[in-house]
Every structure is written in C-alpha cells, then in structure tokens.
Amino acid sequence: MSLPPLVEPAAELTVDEIRRYSRHLIIPDVGVEGQKRLKNARVLCVGAGGLGSPALMYLAAAGVGTLGIIDFDTVDESNLQRQIIHGVSDVGRSKAESAAASIREINPLVNVEIHNTALDRENVREIFSGYDLIVDGTDNFATRYMVNDAAVLLGKPYVWGSIYRFDGQASVFWAEHGPCYRCLYPEPPPPGMVPSCAEGGVLGVLCASIGSIQVNEAIKLLTGIGEPLVGRLMVYDALEMSYRKIKVRKDPDCALCGENPTVTDLLEDYEDFCGAVSEEAQEAVVDSTITALELKEWQDAGKDIFLVDVREPAEYEIVRIPGSTLIPKGEILSGEALAKLPQDKQIVLHCKSGVRSAEALAALKAAGFSDAVHLQGGVLSWVKQIDPSLPAY
C-alpha cells in the first residue's frame, strides 16, 4: 500500500541546500520535490536516547526542516554505549539540549525545537499537534501507550520502534490507514514480566539498526515514496541476522481505534494502567521496606541478616552490596530457592531499583517468611547513599 505524501513541498531550495542534498536530489524518487517536502516537514522525536540518537542524527542530515526533541532526562555515562548523539562532555547535561547541539553541528539548516520536559497527559496533545509525524523512541510501556493513544486521537501517524538485548521491532502506526499499537498489543505485559533495557541490557548497535528503520519509514511517509510499514511489523534478530515482516491487522475490537471504542480520551494514569509493580508486591512492601541507610546501620550493628540479591548473575558481576548472596528472582518465584533461605535470620531482599525485589518479597511472604523486608531503591540507592565509589549501571 502506498500513501500520499504527508507534507506539501516548500517553495524552493537554496543554493546551499542544493549542494548539501545533492545525493538525494539525483535519486529520481526523491528529487527536488521530495527534498522540498523534507524541508517543509515537522517531525517530533519522543526521547533522545537509544533510538532517538540515530533517528535524530539521520533526520537532521536528511534535511527535515524542523525537528522537535522531547526528553526530560540528563546524559549519564551509562548512556554513551549506545546514545551516540551525546558525548563525554555532555554527561550531566540535558539530553534535549545535548541532542540539539549535535544536530546543529550536523546540519545548521535544521530548525530545532527543544521540549525539555516529561511528556504527560496534560501536554501531549498540544506538543503532538505541532508536528506532521512522530518518531517514538520511548523505552517504557506507560509512555508508549500514551504516545499511541494521543496519536490516534489526533489522527497522526507515528513510527514506532523497540529494542531489547539482540531483538528489535519497528512499525508505522496510523489508525486511518491501518492498525494502532493497541491492535497489536491490547494490554501491557504483566508487571515484572518484560525487563527494561536498564534491567536486561541492550546491544548498543541495535539502536542504529532499529533507529535507521524508523528514519527510513519517516522519510517515505513525508515524501510519499515506497511502501510504508503500515500494517506490518518488522522483527529483527541481530544474532540470527534475520529480518521478518509480520502482517498486523487492524483489530475491529480495538479499545481505541476499533468499531466500538471504549478508550475515547487519554487515560488518567498510564503508569497505573501499565502497573509499575503488581498489587501483591504493593501490599507486600507496606511496613516491610528499609532504606539503604537502615541496611548499613543493621550491618554495622552486627545484626544477623541474610541479604539476598535477586538480580541476574551478569548484574551481580558489575556491582554488588557487600555481604549479599545472589539468588535470581526467578528461583524465588518458582519456589526452588526457598530451601536455601534461613528461617532464623532477618531476610533482606534487594535488586537494582526495588521493583523485582518487591515481587520477590510478595512470593516470600506468601511462603511464610513474614518478617522478610526489601531494600527501597535497590543497588542504585546503596551506591548513591552509602558508597558512590561503586558503579551505578
């Protein structure tokens, strides 16, 4: 299915632009008219992280006239392995500002609009309204569903991508011409089932593989060339080096874009919809949560504690809290590790940020370890409050 171009052409290209974009201009399918459409285009990139980095750089180099960047985060050293729009001197700087500076260096002809804020239900419509196309580079389900819902409600197309370890996916969601994200994934995964890249890792170069597919699709949509990835899901496996395309149909029962929609406005709370932790875990942590300072006091006082690290072995290799024993969460949830736990000691669970340990705590309490507690904020809070010389990852 080919679609008409999203954007009308700009009146003209300057001599500078003709020189700069000559390798586009001599491709018959793009030509001067296609380049003029790119010049007139307004594209918003949600997130200047793993996917946003290559996407913004190539969109800028391609001559997209106006690029919006929305990101509230700051550059961290652990971002540099894949977020190539940022450099060493940007650590600590706003990602949106840092990305804008790189774009100006790549192509000063691009007009950059910085939204140094978190996307939320109050601002998403207004921000999206100002753009022809959205490139979604978010890394969490709450924002992903909000981007989808806002795009469908506003009638905007968007290019979606996701990455995890060696696997990537991409598609174009445009409810007027095909399915939306909810047609493909009607429900968010159960809390704790799908680890984030921060928990599970991501091969840095995978960002370029998927980010470049997103830019490719953006250019096709803006200029009206080729077959856009509407109604098809691209699935990439970097280890197999395989690309598969899966047909995705519009779901007539989709809660958002189906025949009888039940979602007719943005949700009140997307975090709640996606459930940061399960209800069992939320209940388990009440009165059973300690801080890093309390844990340190217990250790210093010689309290008889059994500290359990429920992360994965690779994470344990990177950084560990002194005195901890590694028992991955899966072994606790399956029950196989319960026999390893002492009955006569104070059990303290921890993970990286406190989500997995909350889930493990719920399982322990259900198994009768009623005094067990978990560490709020996990290793990250230990590093921050007790020992900043350890690496936060």
What is the contact surface with Zn ion in residues (CB under 5 A)?
180, 182-183, 254, 256-257
No. of H helices and E strands in the chain?
17, 13
Q: Which is nearer to Zn ion, 184 or 203 (CB)?
A: 184
Per the CB < 8 A criterion, the answer to whether 160 and 245 are in contact is: no
CB 133 within 8 A of CB 45: no
Q: Choose between 197 and 230: whose C-beta lies nearer to Zn ion.
A: 230
Q: Is 377 helix (H, G, I), strand (E, B) or coil?
A: coil
Task: Using DSSP bridges, classify how beta strands 232-237 and 167-173 pair: parallel, antiparallel or unpaired.
Answer: antiparallel
User: With respect to Zn ion, which residue has the nearer C-beta, 248 or 281?
Assistant: 248
Instruction: Please report, to the nearest 10 degrees, the dihedral formed by the alpha carbons of residues 5, 6, 12, 15 taken in order.
Output: -90
Residues annotated as part of the active site: 197, 351
Which lies closer to Zn ion via its Cβ, residue 119 or residue 183? 183
379 contacts 319 by C-beta, under 8 angstroms: yes
Q: In angstroms, what is the minimal distance from the CB of 70 to Zn ion?
A: 23
Pull the structure tokens for residue 376.
Answer: 């709020």
Structure tokens at 233: 């899901």
Residue 168 CB, nearest approach to Zn ion (Å) = 22
Compute how many other C-beta atoms are within 10 angstroms of the C-beta atom of residue 330. 13
Ranges of beta strands (E only) in 121-254 are 133-136, 158-164, 167-173, 232-237, 242-247
- Residue nearest to Zn ion according to CB distances in the complex: 254
Count of beta carbons in the 10 Å neighbourhood of residue 240: 10
Q: Percent helix, strand, coil in the chain (nearest 5)?
A: 40, 15, 45
First to last CA, the chain: 44
Q: Between 181 and 382, whose beta carbon lies closer to Zn ion? A: 181
Q: Among residues 52 and 157, whose Cβ is nearest to Zn ion?
A: 157
Rank residues 186 and 335 by Cβ distance to Zn ion and give the closer one.
186
Cα torsion 70, 73, 79, 85: sign = positive
How many residues does the structure list for the chain?
393
Give the integer Cα–Cα distance in Å for 27 and 16.
18
